[in-house]
């Protein structure tokens, strides 16, 4: 479509030109006239009539979404008027850049263009140690950290598209990857928590906060401070003696905000530690019976916005209860939901869309002003951020609508990403397999544990006995093949799910088959497994690794891929060992395969009471029950 811009378009020209890379549009003097004008009314109006279009906007960021909406709706050639208003002050995704995958700058730019079309006006970059602090060379060492120049480039580009980039860092816990270096022992309490009441710690934090905020225009900073359960229980305890965790946390927070106040920053932090410490157990942030005391209210600094995070509840009333508990701490909180791209190869749309819909409706009704959607990458970031785009579009639509028109949401997703809804939703089928009940809300990640578990040890085999897992994955592989669109920019991210389904069609149940054949002394089946089935699995695993490596290096910096490489290498090595063990048994070189003599127990003891098929958060637990590494209990 050819467009001729009119009116007050100059401030948006460079950003709109960037959108030419995403959508079928060319700016020239011979196109459809499209007038852009500021509207004092909070309502955005987009219309097309008599061969001419217009956009009336209140906030500048709305122009980019409006431009996309105009292109999408005017393509049919019919007159239309579209009106919408923003429900939140700011809304955007939080990208986890700390779990090995550090997105390439060029890929981030492509992503920002899509976010602008969707209608987002903010984004948080979650960086535990993946940015430069020049005074501390081990900070982000060999982790793919961004340079100051790279972050400035990202901020400039996002700003061009109306998106505020906000650094999201950690100033207390979740700093394991920095504190592991012996050079930092002088500021370490436990393996991931900083040593508070220690002047060297605050010298570090001053340098860190300045480095994290310098590249960005935004005066907002998220300082983290979540999940610091070990606070005061390591070196601190030895050095200063016992002190109540709440008091340690408040004193530390005041020291940190002393730094941020000097820099005139608006500070956000995760709320969970305050809610946990207010609960009866001291560790449950979702305890509906928790009462907020007056003493607790007084301890929360006025210059900090608490951010309530929740990706678990599926009922609006649960979010409303917990939002109101936060309000009792003094202020309406910010909110962070999530699209479940973590701890699995399968984006969990079955759970993510339910939790997000309930959370966003509650946020609108309870007056939440700032909403973010987290995309964590726990345990190696085996998934990818692009697979979450359908969920991100849902958040964008909630920004502009009172209730969601599913047809419009789906159409917008296709327009902004080039991918159909069916393609996104099929990703859930990697984990929603036979044995997972309809409507399951429990965490379950069979696509991950069935790939990485050892065929000789079969730690999860008890979970899938008697289930038609192989046929499910065989059919899923064919389904993914059939819906792919080779012409789409993002089609490449379906290569890994397709190859994974192909692996699991053979590997998922091989351990069950192997154990049964061994117990029955069925040597013909054992021979078939060793000579035909496992070699076929090895080749499919190699094909999967090649696809995964190509996807990773297309999206991310190379740092961190070595972890996934090691996992694939270990998997192939163990499959080769399985062939050797079976062959030695069949040839009479050993009297028994000791691994197969062992009784199979469920990995999760209560899996039968679950609506899922089990869960594990860590690769190393899936691969073996034996010791990968030894860590002292605290430090």
Find out if CATH 3.30.160.230 is the number for domain 2-84: yes
List the structure tokens of 380: 């190696």
d(CA 154, CA 544): 32
Q: Is the pLDDT confidence value at 61 over 80?
A: yes
The CATH class, in words, for 431-623 is: mainly alpha
pLDDT tens for each residue of 63-114? 999 999 999 999 989 999 999 999 999 999 999 999 999 999 999 999 999 9
Q: By the 8 A CB rule, do 240 and 247 touch?
A: no
Q: Please state, for a pLDDT cut of 70, what percent of the chain lies above it.
A: 99
Report helix, strand or coil for 487: coil
List the structure tokens of 289: 């019976």
**Terminal-residue alpha carbon distance, the chain:** 61
Partner residues linked to 95 by β-bridges: 125, 375
pLDDT tens for each residue of 525-543? 999 999 999 999 999 999 9
Domain with CATH 3.30.160.230 in the chain: 2-84
Return the ∠ at Cα 550 (arms to 549 and 556), rounded to 5°.
80
Directed axis angle between helix 316-327 and helix 349-365, to 10°? 50
pLDDT mean over 360-380 = 98
Report helix, strand or coil for 225: coil
pLDDT value, residue 635: 46
Beta strand pairing status for 80-85 and 43-49?
antiparallel
Alpha-carbon Rg for the chain in angstroms: 26
d(CA 451, CA 443): 17
d(CA 11, CA 530): 66
Q: How confident is the model at residue 633 (pLDDT cuts 50, 70, 90)?
A: low
Q: By the 8 A CB rule, do 134 and 204 touch?
A: no
For the structural domain made of 90-427, what CATH number should be given? 3.20.20.80
Counts for the chain of helices (H) and strands (E), in that order: 25, 14
Helix (H) / strand (E) containing 551: helix 534-555
Helix (H) / strand (E) containing 250: helix 245-262
Whether pTM exceeds 0.85: yes
Neighbours of 302 (CB within 10 A): 7
d(CA 213, CA 237): 32
Dihedral sign computed on CA atoms, order 12, 15, 17, 22 = negative
Q: By the 8 A CB rule, do 123 and 402 touch?
A: no
pLDDT value, residue 295: 83
Check residue 102 and report its DSSP letter: -
pLDDT tens for each residue of 381-418? 999 999 999 999 999 999 999 999 999 999 999 999 99
Q: Which residues contact 314 (CB under 8 A, 6 or more apart)?
A: 351, 354, 355, 358, 441
pLDDT value, residue 631: 61
List the structure tokens of 579: 């062939």
Q: How confident is the model at residue 40 (pLDDT cuts 50, 70, 90)?
A: confident
Domain with CATH 3.20.20.80 in the chain: 90-427
Return the ∠ at Cα 563 (arms to 561 and 567), rounded to 5°.
115
d(CA 476, CA 319): 35
Q: Which residues contact 522 (CB under 8 A, 6 or more apart)?
A: 516
Domain with CATH 1.20.120.670 in the chain: 431-623
pLDDT value, residue 477: 98
Q: Which residues contact 425 (CB under 8 A, 6 or more apart)?
A: 349, 390
Residue 372 — φ and ψ, nearest 5°? Answer: -130, 155
């Amino acid at each position: 479509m050819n467009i001729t811009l009119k009116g007050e378009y100059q401030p948006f020209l460079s950003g709109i030109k960037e959108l030419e890379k995403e959508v079928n549009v060319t700016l020239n003097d011979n196109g459809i006239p499209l007038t852009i004008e500021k509207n004092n009314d909070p309502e955005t109006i987009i219309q097309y009539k008599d061969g001419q279009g217009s956009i009336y906007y209140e906030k500048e960021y709305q122009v980019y979404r409006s431009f996309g909406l105009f292109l999408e709706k005017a393509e049919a050639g019919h007159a239309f008027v579209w009106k919408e208003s923003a429900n939140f002050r700011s809304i955007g995704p939080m990208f986890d850049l700390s779990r090995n995958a550090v997105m390439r700058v060029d890929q981030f730019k492509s992503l920002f263009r899509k976010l602008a079309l969707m209608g987002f006006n903010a984004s948080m970059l979650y960086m535990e140690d993946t940015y430069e602090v020049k005074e501390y060379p081990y900070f982000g060492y060999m982790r793919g950290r961004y340079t100051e120049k790279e972050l400035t480039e990202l901020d400039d580009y996002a700003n061009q598209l109306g998106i505020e980039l906000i650094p999201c860092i950690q100033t207390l816990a979740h700093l394991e990857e920095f504190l592991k270096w012996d050079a930092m022992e002088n500021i370490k309490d436990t393996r991931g928590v900083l040593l508070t009441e220690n002047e060297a710690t605050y010298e570090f934090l001053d340098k860190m906060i300045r480095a994290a905020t310098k590249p960005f225009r935004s005066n907002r900073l998220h300082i983290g401070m979540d999940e610091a359960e070990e606070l005061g229980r390591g070196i601190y305890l030895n050095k200063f003696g016992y002190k109540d965790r709440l008091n340690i946390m408040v004193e530390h927070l005041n020291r940190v905000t002393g730094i941020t106040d000097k820099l005139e920053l608006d500070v956000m932090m995760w709320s969970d530690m305050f809610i946990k410490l207010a609960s009866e157990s001291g560790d449950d942030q979702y305890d509906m019976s928790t009462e907020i005391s007056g003493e607790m209210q007084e301890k929360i600094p006025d210059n900090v916005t608490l951010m309530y995070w929740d990706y678990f509840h599926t009922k609006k009333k649960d979010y409303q209860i917990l939002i109101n508990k936060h309000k009792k701490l003094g202020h309406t909180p910010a909110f962070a939901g999530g699209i479940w791209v973590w701890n699995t190869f399968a984006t969990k749309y079955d759970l993510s869309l339910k939790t997000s819909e309930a959370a966003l409706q509650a946020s609108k009704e309870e007056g939440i002003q700032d909403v973010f959607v987290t995309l964590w990458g726990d345990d190696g970031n085996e998934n990818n951020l692009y697979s979450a785009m359908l969920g991100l579009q849902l958040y964008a639509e909630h920004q502009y609508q009172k209730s969601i028109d599913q047809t419009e949401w789906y159409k917008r997703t296709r327009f902004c990403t080039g991918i159909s809804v069916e393609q996104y939703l099929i990703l859930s089928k990697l984990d929603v397999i036979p044995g997972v009940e309809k409507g399951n809300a429990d965490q379950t990640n069979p696509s991950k544990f069935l790939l990485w578990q050892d065929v000789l040890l079969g730690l999860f085999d008890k979970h899938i006995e008697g289930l038609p897992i192989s046929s499910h994955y065989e059919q899923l592989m064919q389904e993914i093949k059939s819906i792919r669109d080779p012409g789409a920019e993002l089609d490449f991210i379906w290569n890994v799910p397709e190859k994974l389904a192909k692996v699991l069609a053979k590997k998922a149940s091989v351990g069950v088959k192997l154990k049964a054949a061994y117990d029955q002394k069925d040597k013909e089946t054992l021979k078939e497994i060793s000579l035909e089935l496992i070699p076929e699995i090895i080749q499919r695993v190699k094909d999967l690794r090649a696809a995964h490596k190509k996807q990773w290096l297309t999206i991310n910096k190379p740092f961190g891929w070595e972890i996934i490489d090691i996992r694939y290498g270990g998997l192939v090595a163990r499959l080769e060992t399985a062939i050797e063990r079976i062959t030695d048994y069949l040839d009479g070189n050993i009297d028994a395969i000791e691994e197969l003599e062992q009784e199979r127990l469920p990995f999760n003891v209560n899996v039968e009471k679950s609506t899922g098929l089990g869960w594990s958060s860590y690769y190393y637990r899936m691969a073996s029950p034996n010791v990968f590494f030894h860590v002292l209990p605290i430090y």
